[in-house]
Chain A
């Protein structure tokens, strides 16, 4: 078995992602204070005030508790959007590589159409038709990410389909679905995992942007993007309020990007190197 030294970016990414996951997990049972607890007399207090490590926001809520609870929302959005994008994109790309011909054309051209829509536009559309919520945000971002997975899986899949073992599998009577599950998918899952980590980072950013614009998670669920947007009005009185959620978003995005890069180095670099970069 090959054993390689873990790439440093993987380690750094794993630590950052680990912090976010831990914060979200702990917030399920415990936060320094109830993140929904409003104390009007203690608005915009500086860090360290009366046990509030990072101070309080414009409604007197504990900033640290809000950030911890906000991590939950961030992770939820990331996981769900990536799952939506994978659930649609992987089969589309896989079938395109498997069957080629007109099916491939139809599949890839429809994802091109989807690719032409910015995630934000889709989200505005969804929010206009339904009501802005975490679900519409997740659906919009997830859908916007489908082409990323479809393209990556098709690219890697085309390579796999040219391999001798696929021809050999055909001589043993394997058919489309069998080849897809047993040969194509296991040999492209490295690129899917890497792409998932990278898409996760972009999803966090997209959700923050949507919440910032008021198209994402509605109150009272804490969300980093909305905290950032709300802190704007108090920039001159409590500039740190903008710093904390901004820092969280930046570090989480950085963490998932590093994780993706690290995984790319770790999982069969030969397969990944030859792929076109389809970063979202």
Chain B
């Protein structure tokens, strides 16, 4: 096992009196790309925000998030601010709204450098051009003077990635970075993230609900449902031999493209993701699970060697 870049232990996030993330523990190994898969409401974004110390007002996190031996959850805000954008960076889902509409793109891309490297306006501006070139935005020098609305969605997301990578972070959290983009642009953005993370030797946590995206990019994968990590392991292994019925359902729900249309039916997981607070006691998936029985009233622990699963009746 490699050196851990980030170690999350017993992380819980509470929304009022409800717990949205239940005792999540995982380790991101340095230089590895890990995917965090889950549907909307599974707690994946909350987990990411908790790691960054940016939970919205009224939400509380407990447990510990260890970065270089220090607990980010206990850290003073001022110290966290020095890490954010420098050592830990994040890319958001919506490139349309994640850029300040009244600030020129170049000024925004240069912000992390001005905040963390103390660069002056001029120097940061020149570096912004290089950063935009690095994320392959054509006419970078010209685009630094543009406002966000003058850029396409893909270009904005590239600019966000340029900002995130500006200070060569150790850890990049990408929260659904391609969800809001066209499929063709998605592939380019994923390739870009992949390349930059590799070049910088950074650790990537890729949050998505899109299985093929994780299969393309990540070495490790974690599957979240109802605020629990239900399955975890090497990406190829998990996708080839899913053990949790939920993961199995997700994999089965990908339409096979090699069959003719009549036989090609979409296989869906029955039911919907319940609202927060309406998950069943015990295993949160048991009301949708074909294999559930009385044992599932108690949540099983996440067990296994490389390939871990939290299920009483794992798929063989």
Interface residues of A (CB under 8 A from B): 100, 163-165, 167-175, 178, 182-183, 186-187
Contact = CB atoms under 8 A, between A and B. Distances in A.
Contacts of A183: 100, 103
B54 interface: yes
Given A171-B54, A174-B111, A182-B111, A187 B84 contact: no
A173 B94 contact: no
A280 B112 CA distance: 41
Nearest to A171: B90
B239 interface: no
Contacts of B84: 170-173
A187 B52 contact: no
B102 A187 contact: yes
Contact of B54 (A100, A163, A165, A167): A167
B163 A164 contact: no
A182 B94 CA distance: 20
B14 interface: no
A251 to B, nearest CB: 34
A168 to B, nearest CB: 4
Contacts of B92: 164, 167-168, 171
A164 B115 contact: no
Contacts of B145: none
B315 interface: no
Contacts of B98: 164-165, 167-168
B176 interface: no
Nearest to A168: B98
B8 to A, nearest CB: 17
Contact of A172 (B89, B97, B103): B89
Contact of A173 (B57, B102, B115, B160): B115
A173 B99 contact: no
A interface SS class:
helix
Contacts of A173: 81-86, 112, 115-116
B57 A182 contact: no
B97 A164 contact: yes
Question: How many B residues are at the interface, by size bracket?
Answer: 20 to 34
Contacts of A100: 57
B102 A172 contact: no
B101 interface: yes
Contacts of A186: 100, 102-103
24 contacts: A163-B97, A164-B97, A164-B98, A165-B97, A167-B98, A168-B90, A168-B92, A171-B84, A171-B85, A171-B89, A172-B115, A172-B163, A173-B81, A173-B82, A173-B83, A173-B85, A173-B86, A173-B112, A173-B115, A174-B81, A178-B115, A186-B100, A186-B102, A187-B100
B81 A175 contact: yes
A178 B164 CA distance: 18
A169 B100 contact: yes
B120 to A, nearest CB: 15
B105 to A, nearest CB: 12
Contacts of A169: 100, 111
A99 to B, nearest CB: 11
A167 B99 CA distance: 10
Q: Which 9 A-B pairs have the closest CB atoms?
A: A172-B85, A173-B85, A164-B97, A171-B90, A173-B84, A168-B98, A165-B100, A164-B98, A186-B102
A173 B116 CA distance: 8
Contacts of A175: 78, 81
B155 to A, nearest CB: 16
Contacts of A165: 97-101
A81 to B, nearest CB: 27
A236 B81 CA distance: 73
Contacts of A167: 54, 92, 98
A280 B274 CA distance: 49
B150 to A, nearest CB: 8
Interface string B113-135: 00110000000000000000000
Given A169-B111, A172-B111, A172-B115, A187 B101 contact: yes
